[in-house]
Amino acid sequence: MRMDTEELLLKYQDDVFRAAFVIGGNHADAEDVTQETFMRYHRSKTEFESESHIKAWLLRTAMNLSKDLLKSFFRKNSVPFEEYAASVPFESSEDSGLFAAVMALPKKYRAVIHLFYYEGYSANEIASMLRLSPGNVRMRLSRAREMLRDALTEDGEPVGTT
C-alpha cells in the first residue's frame, strides 16, 4: 500500500513533528527532521501493509533522524551563544548590547529584524521569503522594535546614559 505524500503530510505532520521534538528538544531541528522524514517517504518505493504501518514508519524514521542529529559532529561541536557573542568584536558596548538584545528576541522577530536592518530587505521582500503577508511582517517588525526598546531602556532612559 502506498499513499500520496501530500495526504500523509496533512494527516501526520503534527505527529511526526512531536516525535522529532520529543527526541531532539529543538523546534528548528524538529521542523527539519519532519521535512526530511516526508521526503524520505516520498522517495522510497516501499509498499506497506496498511496506513497504520505507514504512520509507524514515519514516526520511527523521525525519531531515528532526531537521534542521528543529536549524535552529529555539528551538534557535538557547536558553540554556546554566550561563547560566540563573547568572541565577536564590537566597536562599542552599545553594539554588544544591541546584538544580545536582538538574539534574545523570539526567533520569528529576530528573523524579520535581521532581514530588514542587517540585510536591507523591504517588508514585501521579507514577506515573500518567509511566506507571510506584508502586514504580518510589518507587525512583527513593530513588535520586535518595541521589545528591543524595552530591553534597551530602563525607566524610559536608554541604558548606559544615566
What domains sit in the chain, N to C, each tagged with a CATH number?
5-75 (1.10.1740), 81-158 (1.10.10.10)
> Given a cut of 90, is residue 134 above it in pLDDT?
yes
How do residues 3-55 score in pLDDT, each as one tens digit?
A: 999 999 999 999 999 889 888 878 889 999 999 999 999 999 999 999 989 99
Among residues 117, 113, 119, 121, the alpha carbon closest in space to that of 142 is found at 113
CA separation, residue 15 to residues 20, 46, 136 (Å): 9, 21, 27
**Res 27: pLDDT:** 86
How long is the chain?
A: 162
Check: CB of residue 126 under 8 Å from CB of residue 115: yes
- The more confidently predicted of residues 118 and 160 is 118
Averaged pLDDT of the chain: 85
Backbone φ, ψ for residue 157 (5° rounding):
-105, 135
Check: CB of residue 54 under 8 Å from CB of residue 48: yes
DSSP string, 17-78: HHHHHHHH--HHHHHHHHHHHHHHHHH-----SSHHHHHHHHHHHHHHHHHHHHHSHHHHTP
28-37, 69-78, 112-121: least confident range: 69-78
